[in-house]
């Protein structure tokens, strides 16, 4: 195996650094997908198939990657996606990721399966925008406790994951015998369950509600004091239902290829979702974004912004907070360079005509 680069220049370099830094179990947990990992691979390949259509002789003397997401100003159309157990990647954990996002002028989305509390993340980056990812549990009191802890800590949106009624079959974890290290806890979950000891990922998924329906989601969104985004939309039909049942936004996502293997890549799903939503809600997309040009393709296809999970995690694993911040800075530079070469001054100027 080649030595990882000492001076990373792109996200692939950070992936190599992370692979060298992490033991097989945690690396497989973060990097792996479900089944044969067809969707995992296709998420990346689908962005690579997109062809951008630049316009020339456009005044691009001043280019900015800044935009807004749900009305929140961000310095680039790239948000940090929720990823679990970040202290397993690096001691900086979720607080370090929050500081990295704040330094980059963007939103961090915190996972329910975090190794920090919402209050700790809020204290790490006071005043920075942050969202909370939530699984709805059989006992709605547990979900409500998690929601309240996030809202009390100043989180301004909730991303409800709807593509994980049961966990996908992630065979890398079976091969490595992966288990969450005993010294790590998921304190928000532990507290919400009223336990004095930590819980495992398997414990938590046993209490996720597999009978959740659109009617339940509508009630949840109506009771939430902050906007509720639906994360895990993969069809036009469900995108339309999200609009009709109180969603504050939709996230086109297949859980990074970790749930149902063989589903379409998110780049391929995005156009039908955009058509079904028809401007009623903001649309975000995650899965396989590895370059600023992927971000531009997503904007051209109708997304407001993208979320990145693994790339930010690779930065964290390799170099802690500074690595995660560097990953975001790399993407900002790539987006700004790509905007200028595409003939656009801002993300708002990128249209469907800019992608084939």
Given 3.90.420.10, 3.20.20.70, 3.30.360.10, 3.30.70.1520, which CATH number is that of 11-50+77-327?
3.20.20.70
- Beta carbons of 280 and 243 less than 8 angstroms apart: yes
Strands 108-110 and 305-308: unpaired
Enumerate the β-bridge partners of residue 137: 208
CA pair distance 199, 54, nearest whole angstrom: 51
- pLDDT value of residue 70: 98
- pLDDT value of residue 1: 55
Closest to 229 measured CA to CA, from 277, 266, 167, 268: 277
Q: Averaged over 17-29, what is the pLDDT?
A: 97
| Model pTM score | 0.96
Three-state secondary structure call for residue 45: helix
CA pair distance 260, 169, nearest whole angstrom: 8
Q: What is the CB neighbour count within 10 angstroms for residue 278?
A: 10
Mean pLDDT over the full length of the chain: 96
pLDDT tens sequence across 231-273: 999 999 999 999 999 999 999 999 999 999 999 999 999 999 9
Question: Which residue reads 């928000």 in tokens?
Answer: 188
Q: Which residues are catalytic?
A: 255
CA pair distance 161, 136, nearest whole angstrom: 8
Kindly list the domain boundaries of the chain, sorted by start residue: 11-50+77-327
- Beta carbons of 270 and 283 less than 8 angstroms apart: yes
Band (182; pLDDT cuts 50, 70, 90): confident
Distances (CA, A) of 4 to 13, 158, 200: 7, 37, 32
pLDDT tens sequence across 323-342: 999 999 999 999 999 999 99
Band (135; pLDDT cuts 50, 70, 90): very high
Band (123; pLDDT cuts 50, 70, 90): very high
Strands 78-80 and 305-308: parallel
CA pair distance 288, 31, nearest whole angstrom: 11
Band (192; pLDDT cuts 50, 70, 90): confident
Please give the radius of gyration of the chain, using alpha carbons only, rounded to the nearest integer.
Answer: 19
Task: Please indicate whether residue 206 or residue 27 has the higher confidence score (pLDDT).
Answer: 27
CA pair distance 301, 297, nearest whole angstrom: 6
């Amino acid at each position: 195996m080649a030595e990882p680069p000492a001076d990373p220049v792109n996200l692939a370099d950070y992936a190599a650094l992370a692979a060298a830094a992490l033991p097989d179990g945690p690396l497989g947990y973060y990097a792996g997908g479900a089944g044969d990992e067809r969707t995992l691979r296709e998420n990346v390949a689908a962005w690579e198939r997109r062809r951008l259509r630049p316009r020339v002789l456009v005044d691009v003397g001043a280019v900015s990657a800044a935009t807004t997401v749900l009305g929140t100003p961000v310095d680039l159309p790239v948000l940090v996606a929720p990823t679990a157990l970040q202290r397993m990647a690096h001691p900086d954990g979720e607080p370090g990721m929050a500081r990295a996002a704040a330094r980059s002028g963007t939103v961090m989305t915190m996972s329910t399966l975090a190794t920090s509390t919402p209050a700790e993340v809020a204290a790490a980056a006071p005043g920075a925008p942050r969202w909370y990812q939530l699984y709805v549990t059989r006992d709605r009191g547990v979900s409500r406790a998690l929601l309240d802890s996030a809202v009390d800590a100043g989180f301004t949106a909730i991303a409800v994951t709807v593509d994980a009624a049961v966990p996908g079959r992630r065979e890398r974890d079976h091969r490595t015998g992966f288990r969450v290290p005993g010294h790590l806890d998921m304190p928000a979950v532990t507290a919400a369950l009223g336990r004095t000891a930590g819980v495992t990922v398997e414990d938590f998924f046993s209490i996720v509600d597999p009978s959740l329906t659109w009617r339940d989601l509508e009630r949840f969104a109506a009771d939430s004091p902050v906007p509720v985004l639906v994360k895990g939309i993969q069809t036009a039909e469900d995108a339309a239902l999200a609009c009709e049942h109180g969603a504050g936004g939709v996230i086109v996502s297949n859980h990074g290829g970790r749930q149902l293997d063989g589903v379409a890549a998110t780049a391929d799903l995005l156009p039908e979702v955009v058509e079904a939503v028809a401007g009623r809600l903001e649309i975000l997309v995650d899965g396989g974004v590895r370059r600023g040009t992927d971000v531009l393709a997503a904007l051209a296809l109708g997304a407001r912004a993208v979320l990145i999970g693994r790339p930010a995690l690779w930065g964290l694993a390799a170099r802690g907070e500074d690595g995660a911040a560097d990953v975001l800075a790399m993407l900002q530079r790539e987006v700004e360079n790509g905007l200028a070469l595409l003939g656009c001054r801002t993300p708002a100027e990128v249209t469907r005509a800019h992608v084939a």
